[in-house]
């Protein structure tokens, strides 16, 4: 029989991502409504970090597009090409590159990337994607 207790460890990890990566306890909004919105956004981000970690470990062969947007994939491809990494066509290679953004060294003895590394890498990826989008607007005249 399924019980919520069997999911306890995953719930604990999710809370750790919220506290350590998202720093949810340090949110300082002036109104309760803003705090609720900020919390909601961070809940989704924490879920996405955990999903990345799970898919990297359990389904690395899936296409990257099941987890990443077109802009994220383009950004990852540009980085991979520049750094000599394989193209991020699968979840495994795409998440590996995100982990590299977060400081993952990928030595033979290193465990798979964890929440902290993926959080830092995801944050870097989002900044890079925003820069990519802004450059596209600048060079293509979209506003």
Coil vs helix vs strand at 81: helix
What is the pTM assigned to this prediction?
Answer: 0.81
The whole-angstrom distance between residue 16's C-alpha and the CA centroid of its chain comes to: 15
Give the number of other Cβ atoms within 10 Å of residue 123's Cβ: 17
Q: Where are the domains of the chain?
A: 4-140
Which CATH code fits 4-140?
1.10.740.10
* Alpha carbon separation from 29 to 17, 32, 41, 128 (Å, rounded): 20, 7, 14, 26
Convert 30-66 into a string of H (helix), E (strand) and C (coil).
CCHHHHHHHHHHHHHHHHHHHHHHHHHHHCCCCEHHH
pLDDT of the chain, 143 residues: tens digit per residue: 567 777 777 777 777 777 776 667 777 777 888 788 888 888 888 889 989 999 999 999 999 999 999 999 999 999 999 999 999 999 999 999 999 999 999 999 999 999 889 999 999 999 999 998 998 888 887 55
């Amino acid at each position: 029989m399924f019980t919520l207790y069997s999911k306890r460890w995953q719930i604990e990890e999710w809370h750790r991502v919220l506290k350590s990566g998202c720093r949810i306890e340090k949110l300082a909004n002036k109104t309760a409504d803003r705090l609720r919105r900020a919390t909601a956004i961070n809940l989704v981000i924490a879920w996405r970090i955990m999903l990345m970690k799970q898919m990297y470990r359990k389904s690395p062969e899936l296409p990257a597009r099941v987890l990443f947007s077109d802009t994220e994939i383009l950004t990852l491809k540009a980085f991979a090409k520049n750094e000599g990494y394989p193209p991020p066509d699968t979840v495994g290679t795409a998440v590996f590159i995100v982990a590299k953004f977060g400081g993952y060294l990928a030595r033979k003895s290193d465990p798979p990337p964890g929440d902290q590394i993926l959080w830092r890498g995801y944050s870097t990826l989002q900044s890079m994607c925003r820069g990519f989008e802004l450059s596209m607007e600048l060079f293509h005249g979209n506003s």
